Structure 1
Amino acid sequence: MAGKWKALADQLEHEIKEGTHPPGAALPTIPDMVAAGWGSKATVSRAYEELKARGYVTARRGHGTVVRDRSRVRVPLSRYDHVLEPGGTRGPWETATAAQGLNGRMEVDKPAAETLDAPADIAAGLGLDTPAQAVRRRRRAMIDSDTIALQEAWYPRNIAAAAGLDQPGKVTGGVLGALVGAGIVPAEAEETVTVDEATPEQAARLSIAARAPVFIVDRITRDRAGRVIELVRMTGAADRLALVYSPLPLKVRSSRGRAPSSGGEVR
């Protein structure tokens, strides 16, 4: 038989879904819930922990148990198409969120730029022999005051130096615009998406439950010569992101290797 804590958690989940407790609202304190007759301290505490595990609330210092915003942010692959001109004021995240009427921004984590020994998987992704050093830039993708995703961007040292990416501070208009301004022109990119459990550090920074699912998106960008110029690893709360890969061009060929004639039926 389900305990009182589960019944309370189910009731509060229903109220959150119905809007009784909107995103950003603090749930009553545990003593207030006990005084209102919702159960013992242990019952209410376990119900709140269950809500955290389900992803409906998070604990915020000075604010108590707060309802999470679970609305999804669309992250289209096309977000990069609009930031290839140098001198712009918005990067890919700002561009994509502004199109949805959201207050999105990137915040740089300090130190903004570090020259480090690249981990083996990063060096391999950059096409560097190991051991090798690379420049890492870290940032947080924000909506209002919420951290939606963590980003680590890695660059070969010569690429970073040429585009000024080895210097501290935010790159206004986005990194891709800075690369183009330095004559390093992105030509193609690929993204690999996996899902994993959040590490304790990731869970704390994303305000999600320990071991909650996260998207891990590795994006590799190459120039016209096929040289890797950037590797970006984005780790985001899986219940806050919708990765959109459309429209995608499709090439159709007949069984003999010829494209079908206009208006013809493809068999």
Structure 2
Amino acid sequence: MRGYRDLAELLRQQITSGEHPEGSTLPRIVDLIDAHGLSRQTVRDAIKELADEGLVVTMGKGGTVVRNRTRVKIPLNRYSRVLRPAGTKGPWETTCAEQGLDGRMKVVGVARLHATAELAALLDVPSGSDLVHRRRHAMLGENDVVQLQDAWYPADLVDQTELAGSAKVVGGVFGALVAAGHSPSSVSERVQSRMPTGVEASQLKISGKVPVIAVTRVTKNAEGRVLEVLQSTAPADRVELMYDDLPLE
């Protein structure tokens, strides 16, 4: 074995074949040095190449872990199926369950804030208006964060509802909006591909060279009032956005 590319290719093949399955830890650097007669820097360069490809994530003292790359298919019609209040699953949980995946939604934080100029434009409210900000992680299982979500709501719409509280909204936000008398009628989405910020890469446990898909969703009622602005970010190899059977006229 002559260099880091050879070692990277060997480890890549072992990961692809299942010899090192998702969630497993690669051999320690010292063990790879001994096994292949390479320098420490050469081994580090090989692991960095795999991390940049999104195959592994380095966990410090936790070693180098083979990354979970299970892809979640996210159809546009996920919203219409969760409009009825009293359901037990939101759009993410429903979509994952249909694919045999253990989808979970975790509330990271809820806060009141004043609308920046950018948020005010998206929500069609005056700059400085009171908003409720809900930060969530869309997950598979207990530890695998697939998508980061930040949602904002006009405070006058959601005050005195569970959307203003810190607890998880059982059944999803759309059902809660309907229960509060604010029925979603239309959804617009804008999709971008970009590189992650340092914070996003850390939370998603990816290298800063793994691209992400960033979606901005604006939800309105029948009168055109904006009920929610949601910004979500996920590694590009973890989600597949599906827009099937859209009308052409």
TM-score normalised by length of structure 2: 0.95
Query: For 1:62 and 1:98, how far apart are their aligned partners in 2?
Result: 34
2:159 match: secondary structure: helix
For residues 2 and 38 of structure 2, what CA distance do their matches in structure 1 show? Answer: 11
Q: Is 1:83 aligned to 2:73, yes or no?
A: no
Deviations 1:88-115 (A, max 9, x none): 11000000000000001001103xx211
1:137 equivalent in alignment to 2:134: yes
Query: 1-side partners of 2:5 and 2:130: how far apart?
Result: 51
Report the Cα distance in structure 1 between the residues aligned to 2:99 and 2:9, rounded to whole angstroms: 32
CA deviations on 1:50-79 (whole Å, 9 max, x unpaired) are: 111111000235531011122311011111
Equivalence for 1:207: 205
Does 2:142 align with 1:147? no
CA shift for structure 1 position 120: 2.1
In structure 1, distance between residues paired with 2:134 and 2:217: 14
Q: 1:123 and 2:137 equivalent?
A: no
CA contact (8 A) 1:200 1:211 kept: no
Is the contact between residue 141 and residue 148 of structure 1 (CA under 8 Å) also seen in structure 2? yes
CA distance in 2, matches of 1:23, 1:8: 19
Q: Deviations over 1:211-249 (max 9, x none)?
A: 421111011000011000001100111111100011212
- Match of residue 168 from structure 1: 166
Q: Residues 93-142 of structure 1, C-alpha deviation per residue, up to 9 Å, x if partnerless?
A: 000000000001001103xx211122322211100121323110000000
Structure 1 Cα separation of the partners of residues 93 and 5 of structure 2: 40
CA contact (8 A) 1:163 1:181 kept: no
Preserved CA contact (<8 Å) 2:85 2:178: yes
Question: Radius of gyration: which is bigger?
Answer: 1
Q: After TM superposition, where is structure 1 displaced by more than 4 Å over at least 4 residues in a row?
A: none
Q: Paired residue for 2:55?
A: 56
C-alpha distance in 2 between matches for 1:184 and 1:61: 47
**Corresponding letter in the other structure for 1:188:** S
Partner Cα separation in structure 1 for residue 160 and residue 244 of structure 2: 33
Query: Displacement, 1:83?
Result: 0.8
Q: What stretches of structure 2 of length at least 5 have no aligned partner?
A: none
Are residues 123 and 62 of structure 1, via their aligned partners in 2, closer, same or farther at CA, if it must alter by over 3 Å? same
Question: 1:140 and 1:89 mapped to 2: Cα distance?
Answer: 17
Q: Which residue of 1 aligns with 2:191?
A: 193
Which residue identity is paired with 2:199? E
What SS does the corresponding residue of 2:79 show, helix, strand or coil?
Answer: helix
- How many Å apart are 1:162 and its aligned residue? 4.9
| Structure 2: distance between partners of 1:61 and 1:248 | 46
Distance 1:48 1:100 in 2: 32
Letter in 2 for 1:231: V
| Structure 1 unaligned regions, length at least 5 | 252-267
Aligned residues: 248
User: TM-score, normalised to structure 1's length?
Assistant: 0.89
Work out the CA distance in 2 between the residues paired with 1:169 and 1:33: 46
* Identity percentage of aligned residues: 43
Change over 3 Å in CA distance of 1:129–1:3 after alignment to 2: farther
Q: How much does 1:3 deviate?
A: 6.2
Question: Would you say 1:217 and 2:215 are equivalent positions?
Answer: yes
> 1:138-184 deviations in whole A, cap 9, x for unaligned?
00000122100000010001112153311111111111111101111
> Given that residues 107 and 166 in structure 2 are in contact (C-alpha distance below 8 angstroms), is that contact kept between their aligned partners in structure 1?
no
Match of 2:16 in 1: 17
Aligned-CA RMSD value? 1.5
